[in-house]
């Protein structure tokens, strides 16, 4: 999700694939967009979640990068508000 509240800009990407999360983090870091990767073990046979969080200027840069590809209007608007 993308959100901007109380002057805090944030982009959060969640996946159950550790490889995908690590690869995304590496590719974005190579582009100067740095985020934090957190792994959360889930109970009751649920899959482990890998969450990439980008804040501040890094969130704005990522929103600018992905905004042309967003198809859902509310997500497009959220990306614009992070720029």
Q: Is the pLDDT of residue 66 over 80?
A: yes
Instruction: For tokens 């590719």, name the residue.
Output: 27
Q: Is the pLDDT of residue 8 over 90?
A: no
- Provide the residue count of the chain: 83
- Specify the 3-state DSSP secondary structure of 49: strand
Residues 18-57: tens digit of each pLDDT:
999 999 999 999 999 999 999 999 888 899 999 999 999 9
User: What's the pLDDT at 21?
Assistant: 97
User: What's the pLDDT at 12?
Assistant: 94
């Amino acid at each position: 999700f993308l959100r901007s509240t109380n002057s805090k800009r944030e982009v959060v990407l969640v996946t159950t694939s550790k490889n995908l999360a690590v690869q995304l983090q590496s590719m974005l870091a190579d582009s100067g967009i740095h985020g934090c990767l957190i792994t959360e073990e889930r109970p009751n046979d649920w899959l482990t979640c890998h969450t990439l969080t980008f804040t501040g200027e890094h969130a704005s840069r990522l929103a600018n990068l992905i905004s042309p590809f967003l198809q859902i209007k509310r997500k497009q608007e959220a990306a614009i508000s992070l720029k």
